[in-house]
Structure formats: structure tokens, C-alpha cells
Chains A and B, each alone.
Chain A
Amino acid sequence: MARAQIEGLILRAARGAGVDLAHAEDVAHAVAWWGDADTLRDLAASLTEDVDRSTCRLGPGLIDQVQATGEVVEVPACCSLNVMRALCAAHHAQGGRAVICVADAGLWQLSCAEPDAPPVPPKGRPDVPQDVVAALTALAANTYVPSTAESHAAGAGAGTTDND
């Protein structure tokens, strides 16, 4: 899959799982462009298992907090470190204050760091496991509206001939 295609799928899947729009946008972009197969698997699992405790719901807000306060914030155990790393990389690449994950006595933390050279995104396409695609596709379907004869007939271009 292309990375833009993955981003679109994650965005719809996260929205379909009930994640707020801005969080869904952040996670979709970060995971699609900075993640790998493991990140995608973590993301799909967190969206399907317990969305309230997913990194989608928690991660962007944690980065906001660290960025605004300069405090060191502990990353909840329910968060995926892979997804958090992707969020941090994407955040840094967009010129925000650097926010990094640091291992300290077995705990993971977010903290501000001195701005560094922007990270380089991975080359090529991630290998997206089919079960992950299936899980995300199923969640994305929650944003689609079932078609009816009426909506089909009211669509753009309906009722006109294209044999002109």
C-alpha cells in the first residue's frame, strides 16, 4: 500500500472507532509516514481493543502538554511506544519543539529536548499485514453510509445520460 493510502485508511478507521478528528489526523499521518508494520499492528490493536485507552486518544494530548509546559510526562502503560515514537517524529518534522520518548527506570516518558535536525522519514512502503488492513477497513466502514435507492438516485451525475 502507498503511504498516502495508509494515511487515508487510518484516518477513516480512527474516526470510525470514535477518535476525535484532530487526534485521528495526527495519528494517521504519523503512523503512515513514520511507522512500520509493527506500528500499524499496534495501532489496529489499540483501536479495536480499547479505544478510550488507545494511543490515538491519549498520544496527541500528551505531546500538547509536554510542548506547552516543558514538563516531563509519563507515558501510560496502555500506550503503544511504536505509535508514540511515530507521533514524536511527525511532530518534530513539522517544526514543533522536539518531544522524545526516553526510557528511565523502565518507564517511558515524554520530554522536551533541544531542537535537533529533523528526523528523516523511512524510505519505501511499509509491509502492511493483511489482518491489519482488514481490521482498519472494518473500522473505516463505520464512517460510510449505507446506500439507498434514493441516495443513489440523488448522487452527482444521477439521472443524466453520459452518451452525449
Chain B
Amino acid sequence: MMDGAAPPRLRPLRPPSQVMRLARMGQMMPNRLSFLRVLMRNLAEIGTPPERRVWDIDADGYGQAVYTLTLGGYSYSLVVFTRPLADANRSDRVIATAWDAAFVLYDGVPDAGELARLAENVPRQEAGTFTARELVLSRANKSVRLFADVVASLRAGRAPDADLLAATGYLMRTTAVYGNGKFGIADRADISARPGLGGPFMAEMLAVWLMRGFTHDLVEHVGGAPLDRGLKRQLGVGNATGLGMAPFLVSHPLLLDAWFQVRETALARVLSQTSISEAEATALIAAAEQARLHLVSWHVQDTEANAVIRQTERQWTAFCAELTVGDLRAEGGLARAFDGLSGQGETLEELAAAWVIEPFGDLVDGLAECLATPFRPVLDPTMTCAALRRVLEAHGDWAITLDFSQPGAVAQFWYVSEDKLEPRLGQRATEPGAERETPLDTARQFAALYAACPDDETPLWQFLAAAPEHRSAARRAQTLVRHPYAEVRDNLLDAATAPVDLLRAKLSMFGATRFDPKSRLWTRVTLAQGLPLFDELDRPADWLPCPVHTPVHTPVHAAP
């Protein structure tokens, strides 16, 4: 980690044995190094506000629109197509084939010919034909109830129902945001050297932020009146995320390590300060209050998840009541406040880990340069088998001590369905298809490697030549020596593993808020809520969105 600003004596990073467990990853919160926040800083620094170049939308909200902005000297356009959609066809699943809106982030400014080509293909999404000019492909469905309510309110000349608006948080919900070569669109490598797009998922985040602005324009257009700026700022873009996101964290170990190295280094840098300024202490207290208001407004239908949020709200409120500028400014006061929350549960600790870095942009923002990596794990074939066993004992103890002969340890299997290649999770004891499972079983692979690898000086390359099925595990184990955050340190096949924990970890890195788990397999979240509007690039982004009006609790996403 290098940006020249590190304090001389860095507090030790939290160890991967603590950080990389699903129970903790499943409670992560966004922070100022989350990708949407990085994007907003990039836009403020080297971007221009989006310009609405095409608005061919009818009175009911159907048609096409184009927004163009520049970032680092390059032009990018969000091209949007909307069309009527019967309620019966509105599905967030991958297997859906029609949506309320379809989007593409286009490299440059499309002319009439290109617009016609995009109109032919973008609404078809996976079934369309795409080129390297298309950077991101996405689609979204309306939050029917909120969209209709806001339109009705605007048409009636009254303010929308603030409770409903705060409880939902978005007018449209994306069901996929595809980048990096999917379905023939541009490879990430094509654009990763461009200013402002070098970080992970920057193009995808740019598309999401532009989509959010489009939804604001659309509802104002159909409603025939402008929406209050404060309310508008609280409307992000929803997202429904299922199992498709989970394998990424396993198949990109060095990227996973980079993300967590950055976050943990930021935390260590901030907590290594022996004293902070009055302005910083005041900002910390303001951020803590912002988090409290966020928790107050965050309600979900899932009983268990809601109970966790309510407990955190109580704990955080008590914590806020004790915070003073004087205590935070005292020598070691910041670390003392943070450490005082230790042992009160992963949810509270992860909230605090995000909170504590919030006012210290000068100290941590440069770390965002380290979020991406061009490297892949490389096997060291010169190692001996005995040395590899020592590596597994030191870094893979969470796996090699598990008993995979127990049915519960292998109860689940991950697979890709023939049905539009939808990722699914099966029960090994009762469902067919385990022989075709997706290899997310790193823990089981580590254990098998440890069992098979002789404890002697046999060269690793020789062992692997005879047992190539262990080569992946050997490479991953070696990787942990220099990249200790490269693995989720849990058994993803275990009966107790909840995929939604993996989803929350990745989505929090994106900057998602209002996690709303719908089952152990999928969650809804809100993206870009509280971020600056199109004409507010100089306005700092909120850490966590707080409703303008704190709502009385109403059920979220109630089934009809």
C-alpha cells in the first residue's frame, strides 16, 4: 500500500482469520473507499456533468434517451430504452426476458445509425449482439408502487409520500449490470487504463449513477412537475442480486485480497493516529449521527435481519450518546472509542470500521489506487511438498481441520443451470447435478490437498504432475502467503453457509446500502442513494443515506 501518506507506526491490520469469515463479511457496510464513492471523487475531479442529448420519451414514459458526460477526456453515453411491461412479465430473475427499461453505457456519443443498432439489441439484453463500443449492459424494473405514487403526487401538485419514498429508496431496480466482455461488450482491459475508469467496476458504477439520474428525469417527465431536490437525492437505484455475484469473490483471489488490504490498511492508518483535530472529531460525531439516522430508517421484512438492525440501532445510539469531541481528541482517543466496540458483535464492529475512516480522506483516499490488480495467482513449482504442508497449516487451518466426510460439511453444491445459465444452489442429498458442480469448494480442495500431499522433500511440480487435480488448491494456498485476504475463510459447501453473506460483502464494496435480504440466496439493496445529483458534482457524497423525513415504519416491498 503506497501513497506516501502512511503514518510512521502503523497499527497492525486486523488479521484475515478475523476479517475473512462469512459471519463478518455478511455484516459489512459501505465506506469512503467503496467503488461508488471513488467514482464520485473521480467525477468531481476530472468529469463533467451529464448532458441530456436525446429525450424521445412519450407522456407515459416510453421511448429512448441519451445522456453524455466526459471523464478524463473521454466521452461516455448512457443510452436508455423503455417500454410497457405487463406485471406478469416483471421478474428480477436472470431467466426473465423483458424489463421496464434497458440500458447500455456506450463508449463515445452514438450517432443515429448506432442508436438504431442499439435499439435493436439493448432491449434484448443477453440475446442481443454487442461490440466493444458497449461498455456496460443493464436492465431495470420499476418499483411500481413508488413510481405510481410519485407520479400521482407530482400530477396533483403535492409532495410524494415521504414515508413510502424513504422505505423504498428507488424508482427502478436493476436486475443485472454486466461489464467486462459479457455478451460481447468491451473487455475491462480495453478501458482500464483510462483516467477515472481504472478502479474495479468503475464503468459499471458510472452506468448505475447515470441510470439513477434517468429515473429522476423519467418520473418528473411523466409526473409533469419537478421533484424536490432533497427527496430526489434520497432516491437511488435498486438492485436485486442473487447467486451470480458470489462466484466472483472465489474466482478473483488477488482482487479480493486487494479490496480487503485497502480497507484494512485504511482502518489501521486512521486508528494509528495518536491525536486528531477538533474538525475531525466534530466530523466523526456528525458521521456517527448520520449512521444512527440511517439505522433508524432501515427496516426490512426478514424478521431475523430486522432484529439485527434494531439491535445495532440500540447499540449505536448508546455509543453516539457517549461520543464527545474532547474524548476523541485525547491522545489515543479515536482508537479507544473504536476498540471499545470490540466484542459487541460483527455488525456493530463493521459499522464502526466504516464510520471511523469517514472524515480522513487525506489519509486513505489514495489507497483507492490499489483496489485493482492486473495480476493472477502464480504457482511456485519449486516448493517442496513439506513446505506446502506448512503453508496449509499456517494459512489454511480453517479448511484442513474440517471433516468433509460429514454430510453437513458438503450439504450444498453450487451449479449453473441450463435454464439461461442461472446460477443455483443445490442440496447434495436430494438434488441431481452435483457431479457438475461449480468449483467453489476451496476449503474441501485444501483439505484434500493436505491429505494427499506427502510430508517430505518431493518437489511440488512432481507431485502435481501425478496429481493435477490438486494444482488449483496448491496455487491458492501459496497465494495466501503474500495475499492473506485472498480467500473467504469458510466452507461454502456447508449446510449453514448463507450465500447472502457473500453478496453483502461484495455489494458493500460497491457502496450499496439498505441491505434487504429476501432469503438466504438473494438480497435487494440500494445503490447511489444519497450521492450527488447530475448538477451537484462538487457536492461531497453522503456516507449513508438518511431520509429527509425519518419515516414511521412501513413494510418494505410488501407482497400484494
Bin chain A's interface residue count.
35 or more
Tell me, rounded to whole Å, the shortest Cβ–Cβ distance linking A30 to chain B: 11
For the complex, give the distance between the alpha carbons of A150 and B438 in Å: 19
Tell me, rounded to whole Å, the shortest Cβ–Cβ distance linking B414 to chain A: 10
> With a CB–CB cut-off of 8 A, which chain A residues contact B519?
156
Q: Which of A64, A125, A143, A148 contacts B379 (CB 8 A)?
A: A64
Q: Are A2 and B93 in contact (CB under 8 A)?
A: no
Q: Are B416 and A20 in contact (CB under 8 A)?
A: no
Q: Are B186 and A2 in contact (CB under 8 A)?
A: yes
Tell me which residues from 1 to 50 in chain A have a Cβ below 8 Å from any Cβ of chain B. Answer: 1-5, 7-8, 15, 20-23, 25, 29
B328 interfacial by beta-carbon distance below 8 Å: no
B14 interfacial by beta-carbon distance below 8 Å: no
A61 interfacial by beta-carbon distance below 8 Å: yes
For the complex, give the distance between the alpha carbons of A81 and B145 in Å: 60
B150-158, B334-342, B461-469, B480-488 - the one binding chain A: B461-469
Q: Are A1 and B188 in contact (CB under 8 A)?
A: no
A105 interfacial by beta-carbon distance below 8 Å: no
Q: Are B468 and A23 in contact (CB under 8 A)?
A: yes
Q: Are B418 and A147 in contact (CB under 8 A)?
A: yes
Q: Are A157 and B518 in contact (CB under 8 A)?
A: yes
B228 interfacial by beta-carbon distance below 8 Å: no
For the complex, give the distance between the alpha carbons of A22 and B460 in Å: 14
For the complex, give the distance between the alpha carbons of A161 and B91 in Å: 7
Q: Which residue of B lies closest to A61 (CB)?
A: B465
Take A65-B461, A68-B461 as given contacts and tell me if A141 and B184 are in contact as well, using a CB distance cutoff of 8 Å.
no
B30 interfacial by beta-carbon distance below 8 Å: no
Tell me, rounded to whole Å, the shortest Cβ–Cβ distance linking A14 to chain B: 12
> With a CB–CB cut-off of 8 A, which chain B residues contact A25?
472
Tell me, rounded to whole Å, the shortest Cβ–Cβ distance linking A123 to chain B: 10
For the complex, give the distance between the alpha carbons of A141 and B460 in Å: 33
Tell me, rounded to whole Å, the shortest Cβ–Cβ distance linking B211 to chain A: 17
B376 interfacial by beta-carbon distance below 8 Å: yes
> With a CB–CB cut-off of 8 A, which chain A residues contact B416?
143-145
B12 interfacial by beta-carbon distance below 8 Å: no
B53 interfacial by beta-carbon distance below 8 Å: no
B219-227, B258-266, B420-428, B506-514 - the one binding chain A: B420-428
Q: Which of A2, A7, A61 contacts B184 (CB 8 A)?
A: A2
Take A5-B183, A151-B417 as given contacts and tell me if A164 and B424 are in contact as well, using a CB distance cutoff of 8 Å.
no
B39-47, B54-62, B552-560 - the one binding chain A: B552-560
Q: Are A3 and B181 in contact (CB under 8 A)?
A: yes
Q: Are B187 and A142 in contact (CB under 8 A)?
A: no
B127 interfacial by beta-carbon distance below 8 Å: no
> With a CB–CB cut-off of 8 A, which chain B residues contact A150?
431
Q: Are A61 and B436 in contact (CB under 8 A)?
A: no
Q: Which of A1, A2, A22 contacts B471 (CB 8 A)?
A: A22
A163 interfacial by beta-carbon distance below 8 Å: yes
> With a CB–CB cut-off of 8 A, which chain B residues contact A164?
143-145, 168, 557-559
Q: Are A144 and B421 in contact (CB under 8 A)?
A: yes
A95 interfacial by beta-carbon distance below 8 Å: yes
Tell me, rounded to whole Å, the shortest Cβ–Cβ distance linking B417 to chain A: 5
> With a CB–CB cut-off of 8 A, which chain B residues contact A141?
418
Q: Are A157 and B242 in contact (CB under 8 A)?
A: yes
Q: Are A68 and B144 in contact (CB under 8 A)?
A: no
Tell me which residues from 62 to 118 in chain A have a Cβ below 8 Å from any Cβ of chain B. Answer: 64-65, 67-69, 94-96
Q: Which residue of A lies closest to B186 (CB)?
A: A2
Tell me which residues from 225 to 248 in chain B have a Cβ below 8 Å from any Cβ of chain A. Answer: 240, 242-243
A120 interfacial by beta-carbon distance below 8 Å: no
Q: Are B461 and A64 in contact (CB under 8 A)?
A: yes
Q: Are B381 and A68 in contact (CB under 8 A)?
A: yes
B132 interfacial by beta-carbon distance below 8 Å: yes
Q: Which residue of B lies closest to A97 (CB)?
A: B382
> With a CB–CB cut-off of 8 A, which chain B residues contact A145?
415-418, 424, 426, 432-433, 436
A160 interfacial by beta-carbon distance below 8 Å: yes
> With a CB–CB cut-off of 8 A, which chain B residues contact A163?
87, 90, 144, 560
Q: Are A3 and B187 in contact (CB under 8 A)?
A: yes
Tell me, rounded to whole Å, the shortest Cβ–Cβ distance linking A99 to chain B: 11
Q: Are B91 and A147 in contact (CB under 8 A)?
A: no
Q: Are A156 and B426 in contact (CB under 8 A)?
A: no
For the complex, give the distance between the alpha carbons of A65 and B468 in Å: 13
Q: Are B419 and A162 in contact (CB under 8 A)?
A: no
> With a CB–CB cut-off of 8 A, which chain B residues contact A155?
93, 95, 242, 417, 422, 424, 521
Tell me, rounded to whole Å, the shortest Cβ–Cβ distance linking A73 to chain B: 11
> With a CB–CB cut-off of 8 A, which chain A residues contact B469?
20-21
B459 interfacial by beta-carbon distance below 8 Å: yes
For the complex, give the distance between the alpha carbons of A65 and B181 in Å: 33
For the complex, give the distance between the alpha carbons of A21 and B329 in Å: 53
For the complex, give the distance between the alpha carbons of A141 and B419 in Å: 11
- B-contact 0/1 string along A126-143, CB 8 Å cutoff: 000000000000000111
For the complex, give the distance between the alpha carbons of A21 and B382 in Å: 20
Take A94-B376, A151-B431 as given contacts and tell me if A20 and B240 are in contact as well, using a CB distance cutoff of 8 Å.
no
> With a CB–CB cut-off of 8 A, which chain B residues contact A158?
93
Tell me, rounded to whole Å, the shortest Cβ–Cβ distance linking A153 to chain B: 11
Q: Are B143 and A160 in contact (CB under 8 A)?
A: no
- A-contact 0/1 string along B370-405, CB 8 Å cutoff: 000001101101100000000000000000000000
Tell me, rounded to whole Å, the shortest Cβ–Cβ distance linking A39 to chain B: 17
Q: Which residue of A lies closest to B182 (CB)?
A: A5
Q: Are B461 and A156 in contact (CB under 8 A)?
A: no
Chain B residues near A (Cβ < 8 Å): 87, 90-93, 95, 132, 141, 143-145, 168, 180-189, 240, 242-243, 375-376, 378-379, 381-382, 415-419, 421-426, 431-433, 436, 438-439, 459-461, 464-465, 468-469, 471-472, 474-475, 499, 518-519, 521-522, 557-560
A-B contact pairs, 12 of them (CB 8 A): A2-B186, A3-B189, A94-B378, A142-B436, A144-B415, A144-B418, A151-B431, A156-B243, A156-B522, A162-B90, A163-B87, A164-B558
9 smallest CB-CB distances across A and B, nearest first, come from A4-B181, A2-B181, A156-B242, A145-B433, A147-B419, A22-B471, A22-B472, A156-B522, A64-B381
Known contacts A145-B415, A154-B425; 12 additional CB pairs below 8 A are A2-B184, A29-B376, A57-B468, A67-B461, A68-B461, A146-B417, A147-B418, A151-B424, A155-B95, A156-B93, A162-B90, A164-B557
